[in-house]
Structure 1
Amino acid sequence: MRLFLVRHGQTQSNVDHLLDTAVPGADLSPLGREQAGALVGALGERGIGAVTASTLVRTQQTAAPLAAHLGLDVAVADGLREIEAGDLEMRGDEESVRRYLEVVAAWLHGDLTVAEPGAEDGHAFFARYDAAVADALAAARAAGVDTLALVSHGAAIRTWSGVRARNLTAAFVIATGLENTGVVELQGGPGEGWTCVRWTGAVLGPEQAEVAGAGPAAEPAPVEPGPVF
C-alpha cells in the first residue's frame, strides 16, 4: 500500500502562530486555498484511489480540489485530527508553543504518558490515529485501491510517521518541518511496517533520513512554514 499523508493548507491561525487544534478549527486562508488547488498538480496523477480528511474543516477544504479532480468523495475520520493542545488551545505565546512541542518530542522518544492538562496522552493519540489509518486502508482494499491520501495536520503527521516508519528517527522529525500542503509518502502497511519514501524538503534512504534543503510540495508562492499545527 502507498499512503500520502498531506498537511492541510495555510490558515490564519498558522499565520498568527496559534495552537488551533480543536474541531472545527479555522478555514483555509486565500493562500491556503491556492495551495489546496495546487495539490491537483502535485498528486493528481499519482494513482490515488481514495481520499480521507480529518474532522477539522481545513483538511476537508484542502482535500476537496484533489478529490474532485479524481472523481472521489472525501471521507472524514475523527482519528486524523491534530494532536490536542488542551488548556493551551488558541494560545500563541512562545511558552505555550514550546510546551506543546515538548509533548510531541517526548512521544517521539517513547514516553507516551506525557500530556498537557486537558489533552490526550500519547497512548490515546496513537490509538485513534492507528485506528483511522487502519480503517482507511481496509476501505481502500475493499474497493481494490492500493494508493490513498490522508489529509491531516502537521504535528500529527510528523509524530505518527516518526514512530511508525522504520527509517525515521526522533531527531529527524524534530529537526524537519512540514510545510502547508507538504507530503509524507509511506509505503508498506501495518503488518509489514512502513517505510518513508518521501518527506517534503528531505532526502530519505532505506535505513535513515537526513535533513536536506526545504521546499514546499505544492505551494504557488513561498510561505513561512510556521507552527506545525
Structure 2
Amino acid sequence: MLRLVLARHGQTPANVERILDTVLPGPGLTDLGRLQAEALGKELVADPRGPVTALVSSPARRARETAGLVAPAVGLTPGVVEGTHEVQVGDLEGRNDDDSIARFRATYDAWREGDVAARMPGGESGRDVLDRYLPALEGLRAEHPDGTVVLISHGAVLRLVAHALVGGIPELGSDDHVDNCGRIVLGADHAGWSLEAWRREAPGGLASTRDATGG
C-alpha cells in the first residue's frame, strides 16, 4: 500500500504579507520557514509507520527549498514532480488586499463544494488544477506502489486534491486550513484513496499566521 504525505512548504515572505504569489519559481523561505522544514523532517523520521521511501516536491522554489531541508533527516535526494505547483491565480497575482483574498477564498470554497468549473479571475479553474495534478499523483503511485512518499506542495492545491481523491471530508467543515509544513496523509490501495490524517498544525509548534492560500 502507498502512503502519500502531502506536505505544505515552509513559510515564505509572501505568506507573511498575505500576498497571492503563485507564478513559478516564486519566493524562497523565511527563517521560520526553514525551521518548519527542518522540524518536518524530524517528525517524518520519528513516525512509527515506517521510513520515507521517496521525497519529491513541486518545481516552485519554496517547495524545493523545503524538500532540501527535509532531505538530510530522511536520507533521500529530493526529486521534482511537474504539475504539482500552486493554483495559478491570474489577475489576483501579487495582490494582498481584502477584496482579492476574498475572491480567492470564494473560488476555492466553490471548488471544495464541488464546483470545479469555477475559475480564478484570469487564472485556473479547479478542473484545470485537477487535470494537471491528479496525473502527477498517479505517476507517483505507479512508480511507488508501496512505501511512504512525501510530496512537498502548496496550501490550496493540496487541499483541493485531497478533497477530490477522497470524495470530500465533511468532518472538517469549512476549516480545512493547513499551516506551513502541515500535512495531509492519504493511503492508496486497489480500492482507491483514503484519508489517514489531516494535520493542520505546523510541526514543532512553529505556527505561522494564517495567510491567503493556506486556509
Q: For the residues of structure 2 that align with 1:96 and 1:88, how far apart are their CA atoms?
A: 6
* Contact 2:15–2:212 (CA under 8 A) maintained in structure 1: yes
* Alpha-carbon displacement from aligned partner over 1:38-63 (angstroms, at most 9, x marks no partner): 11211124421001100111011111
Q: Which deviates more from structure 2 when the two are superposed, residues 28-37 or residues 40-49?
A: 40-49
Determine the C-alpha separation between the residues in 2 that align with 1:33 and 1:179: 14
Contact 2:18 2:211 in 1 (8 A): yes
What residue in structure 1 maps to residue 5 of structure 2? 4
Distance 1:177 1:200 in 2: 9
How far has the Cα of 1:66 moved from its partner? 2.0
2:98 to 94, 99, 102: 94
* SS of residue matched to 1:49: strand
Residue matched to 2:206 = 221
Question: How does the TM-score come out when normalised to structure 2?
Answer: 0.90
Equivalent pairs counted in the alignment come to 210
Whole-angstrom CA distance in 2 between matches of 1:2 and 1:166:
18
Question: What is the root-mean-square deviation in Å for CA atoms of aligned residues?
Answer: 1.8
Whether 1:22 and 2:44 are equivalent positions in the alignment is: no
Deviation at 1:116, TM superposition (A): 2.2
- Residue 122 of structure 2 corresponds to residue 131 of structure 1: no
Name the SS of the counterpart of 2:174 in structure 1.
helix
Percent identical among aligned pairs is 33
**Structure 2 residue runs without a partner (length 5+):** none
Residue 207 of structure 1: aligned partner: none
- Is the aligned partner of 1:104 residue 2:141? no
**For 2:213 and 2:125, how far apart are their aligned partners in 1?**
18
Deviation at 1:220, TM superposition (A): 5.0
Q: 1:225 to 1:132 in 2, by over 3 A?
A: same
Residues 118-142 of structure 1 show CA distances to partners (whole Å, capped at 9, x for unaligned) of 212122111111011111222223x
The residue type equivalent to 1:184 in the other structure is: I
**Partners of 2:207 and 2:113 in 1: how far apart?**
32
Give the 4+ runs in structure 1 shifted more than 6 A: none
Residues 140/155 of structure 1: CA separation in 2 closer, same or farther (3 Å cut): same
- Secondary structure of residue in 1 paired with 2:33: helix
TM-superposed CA distance for 1:78, in Å, is 2.3
The 8 Å contact of residues 34 and 220 in structure 1, kept in 2 or not, is answered as no
> Unmatched 5+ residue regions in structure 1?
202-215
CA shift at 1:24, angstroms? 0.5
CA distance in 2, matches of 1:45, 1:137: 23
Higher relative contact order (CA 8 A, sep 6+): 2
Report Cα offsets for 1:3-57 as digits up to 9, x if no partner: 1010000001000000011101110001000111111211124421001100111
C-alpha distance in structure 2 between counterparts of 1:40 and 1:172, whole Å: 26
Residue identity opposite 1:221 in structure 2:
L
1:172 aligns with 2:157: no
User: Which residue of the other structure, out of 53, 62, 71, is the alignment partner of 1:49?
Assistant: 53
